Structure 1
Amino acid sequence: MADPRRLTFPADRPVGTLYLDSPEGEQRETPARGVVEVPAGWRVTLDTDGEYLAALVDLPAGSLDELVAGEVTDEHLSTLGDLRGLGSLMLFGTFTDWAVPVVPDLETLALYSEGLTDAVMARLARPLPAELTLAAGLLTDDTLLAMAGEDQVVAVNVSGDRITGRGLAALATLPRLDRLVLGTSGALTAAALDGLVGAPALRILYLIGPWDDSVLESIPQLVPPLRHLTVTDPDGERSPLSPAAVAALRERCPGLIVEELMAATDLDPVVGADLAGALGDPRPALVYFHAPWCHPCRQYGPVFGQVAVAFADRVSPVHVDVEDEPDVADRYAIRSVPTVLLLDGDRELLRLPGAHGRAALHDRITAALASHPRWR
């Protein structure tokens, strides 16, 4: 078990929010300000903005397990200190390839920037992280070809309108590739998906773009090992597929799960300061707090929407835009977004700040409901 950690941040102002997770699932949230004591074995995630990265320069290597930063520029990245020991790095902003930090031994790397090109691959430490996201950039097949031979890669999230079947065929050679998220604004054709035929371990495929029913033509060739398919519009929220096409695919591939989607913003919005009064429902309220400027919210919103569908008969899901409803956010002490609350009237059954995977969110809600006999 890791030793206790003592993290020192500027005392005059917070430089982000720390999320501390225990091995038993307990979570604490605290401002990154002054001295923060971290118990032995706890995981440390810092959610911050690019302007505060310079304040981290004196943190010793191994201080953080995960770093999430938004509004990041090249100048901000030039101020970063020693990130050795970091397990996960997620950056959102307008940075370019040359400024991407070289961090060895990452488990997860996610880069979201319009400034990314194929040259970013030359900046990444080898071996590549097991989970790699390169999104919103000017990427081509060369990025995917540069992943050849990286046998440890299990998950790839990539977007680019100059990706073709040639690049996808390179991904199909990765022996452990289990999950692929593929985004396009239109140039990537459904026929290009033929390049994935033969991928030995690909179980989960998530397609984001202006797709139509034709995208399903190649899917039967991927089954097995493909077991889970999600197709969404360019916003990553709603399925563009017709019910008839989905039904036909399910009949042809009975072992394939074709995901039904609901966007978080399709849920009922909360208006007014009294959340309990706004709901008018005897079931617990599952509340998603978000903001239009929140980068992680863009990824987490669809996750919340999907999980909300799974609990539709047990909870009343709603969403709160903290910009539109600051009184609601203040009443429930929302200090960061995204945050999910599960409320039984005024009783808080669950508070879950930060972005989490669908399985983790589902499990935490299940556990919270199970701990209260009324809602088991």
Structure 2
Amino acid sequence: MPSDQVFALIDCNSFYASCERVFRPDLAKTPIVVLSNNDGCVIARSYDAKPYVKMGEPYFQAKEKLRRHGIVAFSSNYALYGDMSERVMSLIESMVPAAEVYSIDECFADLTGVQGSLTQFGREVRAKVLRCTGIPVGVGIARTKTLAKLANHTAKRLQAHTGGVVDITEDFKRDWVLRNTEVKEVWGIGRRMTAHLEAMGIRMAMDLAKADPRMLRDKFSVVVEKTARELAGTPCLELDEADPPKQEICCSRMFGKRLTELAPIKQAVATYTARAAEKLRAQGSVCKRMRVSIRTGMFNPDEAKYAKGALVELPYPTNDTLLLTRAATEAAAHVYRSGFRYSKAEVLLMDLRQPGEFSDDLFAVTQPAACDRLMSMLDEINGKYGRGTMRSASVPDTPDWGMRREMMSRSYTTRIDQLWRVS
């Protein structure tokens, strides 16, 4: 890897909360939290909500506190967040030589060869993303990906002084950040590893950068060794411009209420199967087997407990929603037992390959070309008019077993009937 390599980490600030604020400018200065599935617990907080609410705090416990401090709660709106993420990432990719989308709200960029001030370039990226999407971002620039993560953390931590952009490609700036950052803030160093390192006297990021890499490898792992080398300025992690296809695809959800009858459970399984098949086609894969499971709640001592799954061998490698749905609902009927209150279903697509990778015999059945055309049309319509516009008859429009999302915002960017209106 070239010694003059330069990476940037561009990370959206309080992403879920920022997405909600884009279409609610009246909440620009109001603290916001976003809740998990079924409005269970807090999974995202705007910066001004963090002093009052802990991450993961159950909503029913925090409800009074939120009211007291004027904090607005939103149910999770993943369609909105996913679409806003695509807009942000597409914009960043248009501005940098190469990019790696790392998660829904952050991406690495290769800035090697960019001329002029990197700090100014980071500010231009930040300004354009904010202007075109309404999402604020932080930019960290450094010689390695781990240092870029640390620079980004510093940009956010010292927002008032940095303007949201920190460049530590120069040694004295890198060393200042390393001396003033605790080791627990380093990318890849979790709580348990922090405790081990602190017991060895490694408390700051600088301590880890100066530690003997071979000793770290022998005592912990090659991952910790690479982290230390990256902190010292030696690139060990390259930019991955394309994610490899997933080996398994899972879709599972808690029901909005306990289900006792088979019919709504089959509807839920059909819905999850359709979503999993959509992901399967998005990465250009087919699958040969699937597992369908259902279970009751496991923590209520007053409820009878039951959990069972079934493995299904498909007649041929496929990404056909209709075939997968038929197989999944039959499996759900097979494992269902009356007399229980079911809380969750899961569909897991397994043995994933690219078309043509399966070694079948000459006379084996394959997915018909007409099915490929139908699935392509299905995805095109749903991509244009919103997910669920075209679906199998076994998938209901507004199921009463769906997730509780009583405070969900509108799908401003993915549904024609919920477009933002300005009056």
- Which structure is higher in helix share? 2
Query: One fold, TM greater than 0.5?
Result: no
Q: Which has more strand, going by share of residues? A: 1
TM-score (norm 1): 0.28
Q: Higher relative CO (CA 8 A, sep ≥ 6), structure 1 or 2?
A: 2
